[in-house]
Structure 1
Amino acid sequence: MGEEPQSPYVVFGYGSLIFKPPPHTISQVPGYLKGFVRRFAQSSSDHRGTPENPGRVVTLVHIEDWDDFAGEDPFPEDDIVWGIAYTIDPTHEEEVRAYLDYREKDGYTVDMTDVYAIVNGKEQVVVPKVCMHTVYVGRKDNPSFVGAEPLDGLARHIWKSVGPSGKNKDYLYNLADAVRKLAPESYDSHLYALEERLRGLDAEAEREGFSANAS
């Protein structure tokens, strides 16, 4: 008997992987997850902040875990977590796994789940979890998980944070733009509410700078 074909390595991107895909991708499928919320609930001391001043990046949280932290969170649990499922070239699987494990090392845990999409007006699984489909999740017991924070304070923290990968606010803006482009159905009220507040902080800083220059 011949060997059974190896299941493809598929990774689901829901944060920076949407606008900065993993290397050696041979196909990609937009889709969404069930049973998770996407929140800026993970500190970032290695990409969008520093150990002294960690930024904030998104993580996926199981809904049953989020219930423990949702006191400051005014958003509905039924917001859909849209992202992209990337199939990796099998000849580079080990290399990409190592790359992603390092890239997502700051408190993330590997999990498995199905990816859904709307096909011909109906919901269906487009990537089943039997396909070695991997998603990086920030569990509540990891040291970088910060949980829910008041929105205005979170927005200001993101707006002023900077790390080796650049400004924290640029991460948020890139993610918001990417989510809008995924599908007409894609929406994330938490992400868009933060984006609106950051745009307001940009405008406020511009006005203050204009006033200072004018004087």
Structure 2
Amino acid sequence: MPGNMCVMAGGAMLGWSSPIISKLKEDPINDDNPLGRTIDDTEASWIGSLTPVGALIGSFMAGYLAERWGRRITLLLSVIPFSLCWLLIAVANTVEIIYVARLIGGVALAIPFTVLPMYAGEIAEISIRGILGSFLQLFITIGLLWSYCIGPYVSYTVLWIACAALPIVFFIIFYPMPESPYFLFANGRKTEAINALAKLRGKSIQGVEIEASEMEVGTL
């Protein structure tokens, strides 16, 4: 499912700190250390731990936005904090800027972890719902591997570009996806919900009438 690319982007963001911390501990003359100095163990631990703090904050925001604006829009909006995170990392010349970037990255990470399971469960047919739900763990692992496999062999700049490309790819491939029919039914947008369901199932509007009726009853 295209939405899992957002989870992969989150995994890459999580894994980014592992190869980068070792670079930031190297000789500051090295081009891979944009700070102009080496970082100590305390600073390294903050770089690694601020992302979960951001995720804690972001999970509440994501849940609220998903109920107010919809699952699809909320997932697409995750590209904003992801992009801001990588922009700050790109221009960082102090460790404090990296702290802020990692905190914002945690907020971005919380969005797919909170909203994607909702979206997948609401659009999937019962027969494949479990499989779609299992992809979340798979794709965050792929994202971690993305950073772990690339990071040790490329520069600081190349790694953040490689990681920053993932949320952009997600936005492009996920944009055509329809909103959750359940969300649309729950908000009284029946015509849009039926059209979305027909698109998801690859059927005509008449072909999804029974399932649409069941969904509508389920949202009452």
* Structure 2 length-normalised TM: 0.22
Task: Give the structure with higher Rg (CA).
Answer: 2
Q: Give the number of the structure whose residues are more often helix, by fraction.
A: 2
Normalised by the length of structure 1, the TM-score is: 0.23
